[in-house]
């Protein structure tokens, strides 16, 4: 697998964070990468930076959004936005470096909740 920075995705993430109510997301602490020849069926993944690493390295919380080139790059812009909204929904309100699972007591991350935020993006 090969990984490269993805400035185009980074720019799109910043646009999404400005237009969708992701007030807790610090887009300057999100790094976007594009993977090539990844052996996954996922279109994108979000990677956390756990508290123990933050303390050991004296760093603030960060997240990495990896888009899987063989799937993500073939998608329409609208679907790419949906995928990135989905990944951003995994970031908790306290921006701690942890991740929110798909199903919790308070939130669910699924196509319906992504579509609701996608509509806000388009307003």
Question: Which CATH number fits the domain that encloses residue 46?
Answer: 3.30.2010
Domain that holds residue 100: 2-122
Question: pLDDT at residue 106 above 90?
Answer: no
pTM of the model: 0.95
Structure tokens at 97: 């470096």
Number of domains in the chain: 1
pLDDT class for 107, splitting at 50, 70, 90? confident
Question: pLDDT at residue 17 above 90?
Answer: yes
At residue 98, the pLDDT reads: 93
Query: In 10 A of CB 86, how many CB atoms?
Result: 20
Looking at residue 21, the DSSP 8-state letter turns out to be T
Rounded mean pLDDT, 54-81 = 97
Phi/psi for 49 (5° steps) reads: -125, 90
């Amino acid at each position: 697998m090969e990984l490269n920075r993805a400035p185009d995705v980074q720019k799109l993430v910043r646009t999404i964070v400005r237009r969708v109510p992701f007030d807790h997301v610090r887009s300057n602490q999100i790094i976007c990468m594009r993977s090539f020849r990844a052996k996954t069926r996922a279109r994108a993944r979000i990677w956390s930076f756990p508290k123990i690493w933050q303390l050991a390295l004296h760093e603030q919380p960060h997240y990495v959004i990896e888009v899987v080139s063989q799937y993500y790059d073939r998608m329409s812009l609208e679907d790419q936005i949906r995928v990135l909204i989905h990944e951003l929904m995994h970031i908790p309100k306290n921006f701690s470096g942890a991740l929110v699972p798909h199903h919790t007591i308070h939130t669910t991350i699924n196509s319906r909740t992504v579509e609701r935020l996608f509509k806000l993006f388009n307003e």
